[in-house]
Structure 1
Amino acid sequence: MRVLLTGAYGQLGRSLLDRFPADWVLLACGSAELDITNRAAVERIVRRFRPQVIMNAAAYTAVDKAETDRIRAMKINAIGPENLARAAREVGAQLIHISTDYVFDGSKPTPYIESDAPCPVNFYGLSKWEGEKRVQAMLPRAIIIRTSWVFSEYGNNFVKTMLRLAQTQQTLRVVNDQRGCPTYAGDLAQAMIALARDVHAAGIYHYCGDKAVSWYEFAQTIFSLFSGYYPALRSVEVLPVTTASYKQQASRPLNSVMVSERTAHLYSCWDKALENVMSA
């Protein structure tokens, strides 16, 4: 299989690079090699390489910064995916595009499923939802995977932030009224590979961790596991706080829990996957 990977050097892209099947022909592009917001550049590289599948791991993920950096967020999260979908359509390729739990407003009392209507409460979520719509309009059979709270041994993520802060602070305050499903990027990468192999796969899928927690509970799990290897972490106190008392520029959905109507056989056992981050 010939695969074009965009966003190859982010945490998901690097997790994909670790797991790509040896018999696939891969063209991996970071932003320096391919700016997905440049339509001409996208079309040129797709025509030349002629992939069977395009995996889009490129994204603008700075949730708070997106509130003021709106043009760039929309370019990367909406226009870029549209460019990829257009180019994929031209050469008959499939597109696997990553979206987010933040397309939902968090007001639903039960987990979100694929058929629930998006209603984002921040500009990041709005830009990702716009990306979904543009991809589907351009390539109706594209695969869109909504995921949440992604972490790995690579890049910047909540796990690494907690461990970094613990090096200089004895008390950490972590939000306890936002709930979601942490997702290991390595597991998400495996799910993308599985869907790429499925000729019948199309449409929106939810893929995330198998257990819902708050950010505070996630932090507790991180320190509980890592303190066995780094005793200094045992002295760090983690305190629960409310979203209202934790000032952030962008609003967050209180309920980000998702389940899938379509991929019950694909899920991330995130607490076990934390050991991969610890050993990296």
Structure 2
Amino acid sequence: MTTPLKILISGQHGQVSRELQQRLGDLGELVVLGRGQLDLSHPEQIRQQVRAVRPDLIINAAAHTAVDQAENEPELAFAINARAPGIFAEEAQALGVPLIHYSTDYVFDGRKDTPYVEDDEPNPLGVYGQSKLAGERAIREVQGQHLILRTSWVYASHGKNFLLTMQRLLQERPELRVVADQIGAPTWAGSIANSTRALIERWLAGRAGAWGTYHLSAQGETSWFGFAQAIGEHLLANGKPCAVLQAIPASAYPTPAPRPLNSRLDCSRLAREWGVTQPDWHSALRECLAEQG
């Protein structure tokens, strides 16, 4: 493969897509297709766009990520999260190019006591996780060159996410109750994009590892409560008001879609196969906050 590349990125305004756009531009031409150009619930649109663009690499950074909303619209969730990835995989294979696709810790039920490895048996608790798992399987069935990257607790300085919600609520309220018994690794979308670039560079250099499914989340672990504490500490350090935090169990904060209590992902396979590692969640959060200003 000679550069410059032509990279097709599905999704335009999503957290990971925006970070990819910032970090991949110098690799070649980025063809970024948002909802206005590409409706992932319409298979023929996907085929037409891929065949028109004829990219050297496809990155599917779009998804139906509204976890609770998915419970009420399973058909749409499965169209976007399950059927669309399979079509991208078919079109990528037809062109003889790789597909990079992002999945989630929600394919697991969270009942394991230790971090999940790639070969653990999935058992999603809700429609979102079920649809994402179906998307993984659709890609694997095609048997083309692909990377399925499972990540967790994604946040950024833009979009809708836990970081931005906490920054607002911690300054608006005197007291805030946050779940403390769900454990995982908050993962900055910028880190995901950096790792994606590193994977692309290794592929271009002829040093690609095995294609397949990998875990890609920040190092370390915490709870949503611990994540909120770190956000609050940053607010206080910058002279801003901060609510008093109260730890609660997930059972005290019921949601339409149940969440796994253990979202920890073992990312050692990606380091071993591709030489790509993630920063600790604390350091990534600091970098994101510094970028936020």
TM, length-normalised to structure 1:
0.95
Please state how far the C-alpha of 1:140 moved relative to its aligned partner.
Answer: 4.0
**Residue in structure 1 matched with residue 252 of structure 2 by the alignment:** 245
**Is the CA contact 2:92–2:144 (under 8 Å) kept in the aligned structure 1?**
no
Q: How does 1:38-77 map to 2 (within 5 A)?
A: 38-77=42-81
Unaligned runs of 5+ in 1: none
Deviation readout 1:222-248 (Å, 9 max, x if unpaired): 111222114312xx1110000111111
Match of 1:179 among 179, 183, 191: 183
Q: Note if contact 1:140-1:203 (Cα within 8 Å) is conserved in structure 2.
A: no
Equivalent of residue 285 in structure 2, options 270, 274, 280: 274
CA distances 1:72-125 after superposition (whole Å, capped 9, x unpaired) = 111111111112111111111110000000000111111001111111111111
Q: How far apart in 1 are the matches of 2:67 and 2:177?
A: 19
1:205 to 207, 211, 214: 214
Measured after TM superposition, the shift of residue 217 of structure 1 is 0.7
Distance (Å, rounded) in 2 between the aligned partners of 1:198 and 1:84 = 22
Amino acid at match of 1:162: M
Map 1:7-86 onto structure 2 (within 5 A).
7-86=11-90
Q: Report the residue type matching 2:245 in the other structure.
A: V
CA contact (8 A) 1:152 1:184 kept: yes
Whichever structure has more helix as a proportion of its residues is 2
Whether 2:219 is the aligned partner of 1:215: answer no
Aligned pair 1:189/2:196, yes or no? no
CA distance, structure 2, for counterparts of residue 101 and residue 230 of structure 1: 35
| 1:151 lines up with 2:158 in the alignment | no
1:171-209 Cα offsets, whole Å, 9 max, x none, are: 111001100011010010111122223333410010001
Single out whichever of 147-156 and 84-93 deviates more from structure 2.
84-93
Post-superposition, which runs of at least 4 consecutive aligned residues in structure 1 deviate over 6 A? Answer: none
SS at match of 2:269: coil
In the TM superposition, residue 6 of structure 1 has moved relative to its aligned partner by 0.5
Deviation at residue 62 of structure 1 after TM alignment:
0.9
Q: Which amino acid aligns with 2:189?
A: A
Distance, in Å, in 1 between the alignment partners of 2:202 and 2:134 is 26
Structure 2 distance, partners of 1:99, 1:160, is 22
TM-score norm. by structure 2 comes to 0.91
For the aligned residue pairs, the C-alpha RMSD in angstroms reads 1.4
**1:184 touches 1:268 (CA, 8 Å); kept in 2?**
no
Match of 2:122 in 1: 118
Alpha-carbon distance in structure 1 between the residues aligned to 2:279 and 2:85? 25
